[in-house]
Amino acid sequence: MTDDVPTSPALSAASRIAVGTGPVGEADLVAVARFGAGVELTDGAQQAIAATRGVVEALADDVEPHYGISTGFGALAMKHIPPDQRALLQQSLIRSHAAGSGPEVEREVVRALMLLRLSTLATGRTGVRPQTAATLAGMLDAGITPVVREFGSLGCSGDLAPLAHVALALTGEGTVRDLDGVEQPAADALASAGLEPVRLAEKEGLALINGTDGMLGQLLLACTDLDLLLRTADLTAAMSVEALLGTDHVFAADLQALRPQPGQSVAAANMRALLAGSPIMASHAGPDCVYVQDAYSMRCAPQVAGAARDTLAHARRVAGYELASAVDNPVVTLDGRVESNGNFHGAPVAYVLDFLAIPAADVASISERRTDRMLDVARSRGLPPFLAADPGVDSGHMIAQYTQAALVSELKRLAVPASVDSIPSSAMQEDHVSMGWSAARKLRRSVDALTRVLAIELLTAARALDLRAPLEPGPATGAVVRALREQVPGPGPDRYLAPEIEAAVAFVASGAAVRAAESALAGPLD
């Protein structure tokens, strides 16, 4: 979930994903992209690819112009290409379009877009040769990851530059990282893996780059990460409510049913389960409790996290439609026509990438407000200022909240949509673009920032719960505190805080925090 490029990926072909039996699923994509699962083309996919390749080859020498086969590209589509230059046309396309710049894109993103492009090739609608698709599958299997740069895609006509860097490596040009993350020439890596570089034939260059695979891959990775983070947000909210002597009565099922938003119901149910059996909650549950109702950041936690869940569900629906698509231009239709189309436009994916950045920012914002409340002696209901051991001498978690605030401010900037922008390109032929790749890149930063904000809330809430001793937290929240304490010590005099924050970030990002809570529950958090 960070922007660091891993140098020692744990790749393994022990598990293999079949490509061609239907759309690639989110779990399969994560397995290949993040955990190094291998791939294999099904017999049906290879047959479909071979069948439609015949359609393209029948047009290769046709005197009639066919876009991308016997013409130039984009604004050069009116340029006729003679038959003896049509293979060179494809190689030139890849070389010229591999024009990315900037930081290196993460390995998991590149593997995701490679898998999704392979999935589209496997539909048989692109007209590539079977050996081209097989070589792309072989690169994934061997852990060969082309070096792709961050800038170059406008999210229309496909993620052109990122995919072109992949296609360039397929032909034995450009640079890649091998299984161990070592950068080397593509030709050397292919040879080491026993793969022959592809000599592109008619239409193949275009078929390799004309898709929404980069932005879609990042959307699916973000959906997986946000699924975990929203469960974590319910956990950190419950810990904060408990630490602040709040009430769980507002999370009651009948109150939630008065507003039947599905995500809200799930979040409230999680919080009820997490707070069940808490001695801290029981200690102030009587009629003599002076706290009439809690602040919004506590009371409305299910409403915010629930709305984020519903947004995530919508994004997954859009991703599902895109996974079932064969995005290319031109495309070979089911009845054998080769037709131009606009299905490469990234608007559907771009919109939900932007949409998800909004709840990421808001879930972080409400988390930071709960953290600040625990640190403020005027609002923390008996906790020491900044949870410090010796306030004045010690500052406790004062600056941890500053870090949260900086992250939340950054998240708000990242929530500004990229998809409302459009810069015309290709001499005004491509005069409206989606900027979906840009939306995807900033969503990855949003996911990372949200992880860090929730980790700081968890770290702070755990310290506050310890300071409520001799009262004990509930079984689930107590299990989380104990698991965290294996990595981070409890309250005491000020110490170097940054490593503890990073340990908490890893605790959240790995799913260890949620698993610890679930170990004390009857079932998993939803």
| Token duo for residue 228 | 């975990």
Which region among 252-266, 308-322, 341-355, 469-483 has the lowest average model confidence (pLDDT)? 341-355
Instruction: Give the mean pLDDT of 234-257.
Output: 97
Which residues partner with 331 through β-bridges? 339
Condensed to tens digits (0 to 9), the pLDDT of residues 155-182 reads 887 899 999 999 999 999 999 999 999 9
pLDDT single digits (tens) 39-60 = 999 999 999 999 999 888 877 6
- Alpha-carbon distance of 165 to 295, in angstroms, equals 51
Please say if the pLDDT value at position 350 is more than 50. yes
Nearest partner of 455 among 510, 386, 410, judged by Cα: 510
* CB 324, CB 317: distance < 8 Å: no
**246 close to 207: Cβ distance less than 8 angstroms:** no
CA distance 6 to 10: 10
Q: Hey, what are 502's tokens? A: 């990073």
Query: Residue 74's pLDDT is what?
Result: 61
CA atoms within 13 A on the CB side of 11: 24
Contact assessment for residue 345 and residue 156, using Cβ atoms and an 8 Å cutoff? yes
| Residue 12 pLDDT greater than 50, yes or no | no
CATH number of 219-328+356-422+430-518: 1.20.200.10
* Position 4, amino acid: D
More confident residue, 64 or 265: 265
Calpha distance 126→56 (Å, rounded): 9
Q: Are 163 and 113 in contact (CB under 8 A)?
A: yes
Average pLDDT, the chain: 92
Conformational region of residue 127, where left means phi above 0, alpha means psi within -120 to 50, and beta covers everything else: left
* pLDDT(11) > 60: no
Average pLDDT value for residue range 10-21: 69
Does domain 16-211 fall into CATH 3.30.70.1710?
no
CA distance 204 to 522: 53
Token pair of 310 as six digits: 């519903």
Residue 70 has pLDDT above 80, yes or no: no
Q: Is the pTM of this model over 0.75?
A: yes
- Condensed to tens digits (0 to 9), the pLDDT of residues 247-294 reads 999 999 999 999 999 999 999 999 999 999 999 999 998 777 777 789
Taking 90 as the threshold, does the pLDDT of residue 109 lie above it? yes
Whether the predicted pLDDT of 498 surpasses 60: yes
Q: Is the dihedral of CA 283, 285, 287, 289 positive or negative?
A: positive
Q: Does 402 qualify as catalytic in the annotation?
A: no
Question: Which has more confidence, 61 or 502?
Answer: 502
**pLDDT of res. 5:** 34
Percentage of the chain modeled with pLDDT above 70: 93
Q: What is the pLDDT of residue 176?
A: 98
Least confidently predicted of 65-79, 190-204, 300-314: 65-79
Q: Which amino acid is at 302?
A: P
Residue 78 pLDDT class (50, 70, 90 cuts): low
Query: For 232-237, what is the mean pLDDT?
Result: 98
Catalytic residue among 67, 296, 321, 402: 67
User: Which is higher by pLDDT, 466 or 346?
Assistant: 466
pLDDT at 73: 63
Work out the percent of the chain whose per-residue pLDDT is above 90: 76
Residue 427 has pLDDT above 70, yes or no: no
Q: Is the pLDDT of residue 26 over 80?
A: yes
- pLDDT 10s digits, 371-387: 999 999 999 999 999 99
pLDDT in tens, 286-333: 777 777 789 999 999 999 999 999 999 999 999 999 999 988 888 888
Of 56 and 183, the one with more pLDDT: 183
User: Rounded CA gap, 333 and 348, in Å?
Assistant: 22
Q: Residue 383: what pLDDT?
A: 98
What are the domain boundaries of the chain? 16-211, 219-328+356-422+430-518
Nearest to 454 by CA among 518, 409, 500, 507: 507
Residue 8 pLDDT > 60: no
